Copies of this chain bind each other. A is one copy, B any other.
Amino acid sequence: MKIKVGIIGATGYAGAELVRILAAHPNAELAALITQSYGGKAFCEVYPHLYKHVLMDCRELDIPSLVQEVDVVFAALPHGHAVPVAREIMKYGKKFIDLGADFRFNSKDTYEQWYKVEHADPDLLAQSVYGLPELYREKIKQASLVGNPGCYPTSVILGLAPLLVHGLIDTKSVIADSKSGVSGAGRGLSLGSHFCEVNENFRAYNVAAHRHTPEIEQELSKLAGEEMIISFTTHLLPINRGILSTVYAGLKQDINLDQVRSIYEEFYRGEFFVRLLPPGLLPQTKAVAGSNHCDVVPVVDRRTGRVVVISAIDNLIKGAAGQAVQNMNIMFGLPETTGLDKPGLYP
């Protein structure tokens, strides 16, 4: 038996990546590809790499008919737009995995303060589970509504979790310097995504103001068991896929690299998707591009008393569509790596 899947926002980059992954998923079946812009058009004309692989047409959203055909709906929509859709779909007893920000926060106030919109359904928000499987696997198993993590938060949280759980770092000292490829900004048109403006260029953006900041702080705080505030800066890389985060934190005690590596090893034992690289290697975006892996390496700098953690993910996979499918696998009792077990492409 196959899980029947609907995707709302299927023609954005994250949506198209869901389509690619699910079209090859042995236990899933694409049932509906919903899009605002390309209704009626063959999906493979919008994304020709899938020609001969995906034969369906795009269609517009019609919830009553959609719920007849699917077991689960993925949504990749602008923030604020997923709430009413999720509410309707869940009324029919279908599961909902949101790739946007609408169901990631424990506090509606935090969401409203950073996203500048009112949250239309705080009760629904309260039912949602933050979909980072390495931390919340058990809750996800029971969940009907998952808020899939942001791309930057995935890289930063997985990078720091072992240190926070073991109480090794000064919680006031965390600085996360993150760099992302352009696909994170989506397929929509803007001068900031124009080829000539990005290519052979590098810049920071939204300094001290990026909306992923409170999401990261929420999760780090839960891991640390105390309120955390961090510095978080985002930069735009002239590449399509990949996030690399360089995270700095002051060590609270004298600890050497071997000890830190042991902690990471133990923390991520059995986690197929998180890879602590062997000594001598550092994460790089290309080594994870095309896969659901998160590569992590901590470095201890005894001169400064700080630890530097480097982590890398493919923002469209572990940072979006892949993690969403990982959540689906868990929600439906499938082996977690189903459809996600292949390495990426290099070079």
Map CB proximity to B onto A191-205 as digits: 1 under 8 Å, 0 otherwise.
101111111111111
Q: Are A277 and B196 in contact (CB under 8 A)?
A: no
Given contacts A13-B196, A202-B237, A202-B284, 16 further A-B contacts (CB under 8 A): A24-B342, A45-B278, A47-B346, A48-B295, A49-B345, A51-B295, A195-B195, A195-B198, A199-B238, A200-B285, A200-B286, A200-B347, A201-B347, A204-B246, A207-B299, A235-B246
Residue of B nearest to A230 (CB): B304
Asked whether A229 is an interface residue with its Cβ less than 8 Å from the other chain, the reply is yes
Q: Are B194 and A303 in contact (CB under 8 A)?
A: no
- Distance from A203 Cβ to chain B, minimum over Cβ atoms (Å): 4
Number of identical monomers bound together in the oligomeric complex: 4
Chain A residue total in the interface (Cβ 8 A): 85
Residues of B within 8 A of A239 (CB): 199-202, 238
- Distance from A276 Cβ to chain B, minimum over Cβ atoms (Å): 10
- Distance from A165 Cβ to chain B, minimum over Cβ atoms (Å): 23
Question: In the complex where A13-B196, A48-B277, A52-B275 touch, is A231 in contact with B344 (Cβ < 8 A)?
Answer: no
Asked whether A117 is an interface residue with its Cβ less than 8 Å from the other chain, the reply is no
Residue of B nearest to A208 (CB): B301
Residues of B within 8 A of A343 (CB): 20, 23-24, 49-50, 53
22 residue pairs from A and B, CB less than 8 Å apart = A48-B284, A49-B289, A49-B291, A49-B343, A49-B345, A51-B277, A52-B275, A52-B293, A175-B175, A177-B246, A177-B248, A179-B179, A183-B196, A187-B196, A189-B190, A189-B194, A197-B286, A200-B200, A202-B284, A207-B310, A208-B301, A208-B303
Map CB proximity to B onto A15-43 as digits: 1 under 8 Å, 0 otherwise.
01000100110000000000000000010
CA distance A295 to B203 in the complex (A): 12
Question: In the complex where A187-B191, A204-B246, A285-B202 touch, is A345 in contact with B346 (Cβ < 8 A)?
Answer: no
Top 4 A-B pairs, shortest CB-CB distance: A203-B284, A208-B301, A196-B347, A201-B286
User: Looking at A196, A203, A281, A345, which has the most chain B CB atoms within 10 Å of its CB?
Assistant: A196
CA distance A23 to B179 in the complex (A): 31
Residues of B within 8 A of A204 (CB): 244, 246, 282-283, 310
Residues of B within 8 A of A201 (CB): 239, 242, 284-286, 347
